[in-house]
Amino acid sequence: MISTGIESDPLSARMTSFSQSDIDALGARAEAMVNSLGTVSAEPDRLVRLFLTPEHRRAADRVSDWMRDAGLAVSEDALGTVRGRLEGTSNRRLLIGSHIDTVIDAGMYDGPFGVIAGILAADHIVRSGRKLRYGIDVLAFGDEEGSRFPATLSSSSACAGIFKTQNLALADRNGVTFRDALIAYGKDPATISAAAYARDEAAAYVEVHIEQGPVLETRREPLGVVTAIIGQTYLNMEFLGEAGHAGTVPMPMRRDALAGAAEAMLLGESLARETKGEVVATVGRIAVAPGATNVIPANVVVIFDIRSASETARHQLVEKLRAGVRAIADKRHLGLTITSTREVVTTPCHPAVQEAFADAVRALGFEPPRLGSGAGHDGQAMAKLCPIGMLFVRCRGGISHNPMEYAGPRDIGLAVAALIGFIERFDPAKLI
Ligand SMILES: [Zn+2]
C-alpha cells in the first residue's frame, strides 16, 4: 500500500491550498496568541518566565486551554511538558514542539511561537475533519533555555528518555534544587522515566522557530529549512601569571595573565575568520584576579564558545587554538590549563523531513534557503529518540533573546501554513 500522511479517500487526500487571506488569518491568530503568552511574566516591565515557577504554571494553563479549544486531548508529564494529542489511525506520532520558558528580559517569539504554530496546525487538521495515518502530539516544553538551573533541554530530554537524574540535585540562584522545585510544581520526580516516548511510537520531531539570526532577512525569504543544529565546544582557559605592582615591575619582567589571555582571544577570532563562516568563536565571559587597577593580573579565566555545523571544522579549530594558546603561554611564561566544559555534537535534520518542509514552503510560492541553526534547540535532545527537522521564520534584524524580538504576522502565518503543508506531506515510511 502507498503510505502517505493522510487516509487515501479522494476527499481527504487533497492538500490544503492557502489564499492570502487564509495566511493573514493564521498570522493574526498566531500573533494574538504570541502577544497573550508574552504577558505571562514574573516581572511587570520585562518578560521573565522560568522553569517550574508560577509563571510557567500560568503559561502552561493558557497553552492547555488553547490545545483543548483546538480539539486536542491534553496531559502533562512529570517535568510539566504540556502535551496536546490528536489520535491518528496508527500508534505512530509526529511530535511538534517548542518551549514556553524564556531567558531573562526575553522576546515573545522564541519558543512560544513554535508551540502556537503546532496548536494552530493541529486545529486546522481537526477542523478539516480528516484522520491522519499517524497521531500528532503538540509539546510545550518548560526548560529549553536553562535560565533557572544550570542544565538545558531537561523537558525534551525526559521525552527522549535521556534525562539525567543527577540534574535533580542542581540548585537555582536561590538555592532551590531542581527536585524541590519539581515537587513544589506538583510533580513526582520518581515518575520522570514514564515521560519517555517509545521509539516505535515517535516517528519524528519537528519544530518551527524564529531564526534568531539575520540570514533569512538578508535573503528576503520568509521561511528557511534547517539542515542541522550546530555543534558546540566550550573551552575554559585559565592563565596563571604573577601579581605585581603596576608602577614598580618593569615591563620585561612581568607575567601578565590578562595580556596573555587577550592574545589568545585575538588568535581565536582570527582562526574563526579564516574559516570564512564555517566556524564561529566567541569569548563572552572573562574573569580577572585580583582585578585591581594598579595590580598586574595574576589569574585570568576566559571561556571560548566555538560552534560549527561541521564536526571536522570545529575540531580542527579547537586543536589549532589549543596549540596556539599553549605557545602564547610558553612565550609569556604563564601557567595554562585548558578544559573542555561543554561538547555538543552537530545534530543533523533528517533529509526527508527537510524535503517535506521545503515542498510545503514551495507550495506557498517561496524557495526556502537551507541554513544551519547556530542556537541550541530541543531537537538536540529529541534526535536521540527519532529523526528531527526544523523550519525557521524570518525575524526582524535577526534579533533574539531581547525584547525587540519580532516576526511579522504575514511571516508567521506562512510558517503555520507551511507546517500544515508539512503535516499533509509527512510520510513516516520515508524516514526508515
Ligand atoms: Zn527557543
CA of 13 to the centre of ligand 1 (A): 33
CA of 237 to the centre of ligand 1 (A): 28
CA of 242 to the centre of ligand 1 (A): 43
Cα dihedral 159/164/168/171 (nearest 10): -110
To which residue does cell 585559565 refer? 238
CA of 321 to the centre of ligand 1 (A): 30
What pLDDT score does 13 carry? 54
What pLDDT score does 390 carry? 98
CA of 298 to the centre of ligand 1 (A): 38
CA of 209 to the centre of ligand 1 (A): 7
Residues with CB under 5 A from ligand 1 (ion): 110-111
What pLDDT score does 212 carry? 96
- Mean pLDDT of all residues belonging to the chain: 95
What are the φ/ψ torsions at residue 304 (nearest 5 degrees)? -85, 135
C-alpha cell of residue 269: 577570532
CA of 40 to the centre of ligand 1 (A): 17
Do residues 85 and 73 lie in contact, with contact meaning Cβ atoms separated by under 8 Å?
A: yes
CA of 373 to the centre of ligand 1 (A): 11
CA of 8 to the centre of ligand 1 (A): 36
CA of 109 to the centre of ligand 1 (A): 8
**Half-sphere exposure for 81 (CA within 13 Å, toward CB):** 32
The answer on pLDDT for 234 being more than 90 is: yes
CA of 98 to the centre of ligand 1 (A): 7
CA of 326 to the centre of ligand 1 (A): 36
The answer on pLDDT for 8 being more than 70 is: no
SS3 content of the chain, % helix, strand, coil (to 5): 40, 25, 40
Q: What are the residues whose beta carbons fall under 8 Å from the beta carbon of 346, sequence distance 6 or more?
A: 228, 229, 230, 231, 308, 309, 310, 311, 314
Share of the chain above pLDDT 70, in %: 97
Model confidence pLDDT, tens digit, residues 20-74 = 999 999 999 999 999 999 999 999 999 999 999 999 999 999 999 999 999 999 9
CA of 111 to the centre of ligand 1 (A): 4
CA of 220 to the centre of ligand 1 (A): 22
Which secondary-structure segment (H or E) carries 348?
Answer: strand 347-348
Q: Of 72 and 152, which is predicted with more confidence?
A: 72
Sequence letter at residue 174: N
Do residues 100 and 27 lie in contact, with contact meaning Cβ atoms separated by under 8 Å?
A: no
CA of 130 to the centre of ligand 1 (A): 31
Model confidence pLDDT, tens digit, residues 179-217 = 999 999 999 999 999 999 999 999 999 999 999 999 999
CA of 99 to the centre of ligand 1 (A): 6
CB atoms near residue 135 (< 10 Å): 19
CA of 191 to the centre of ligand 1 (A): 26
CA of 317 to the centre of ligand 1 (A): 27
CA of 372 to the centre of ligand 1 (A): 15
Instruction: Give the mean model confidence (pLDDT) for residues 68-93.
Output: 97
CA of 228 to the centre of ligand 1 (A): 15
Do residues 227 and 371 lie in contact, with contact meaning Cβ atoms separated by under 8 Å?
A: yes
CA–CA separation, 41 and 25 (whole Å):
27
CA distances from 299 to 254, 327, 334, 381 (A): 13, 18, 10, 36
Q: Residue 432: pLDDT band by 50, 70, 90 thresholds?
A: low
CA of 164 to the centre of ligand 1 (A): 21
- Predicted TM-score (pTM) of this structure: 0.85
Model confidence pLDDT, tens digit, residues 337-350 = 999 988 989 999 99
CA–CA separation, 387 and 261 (whole Å):
41
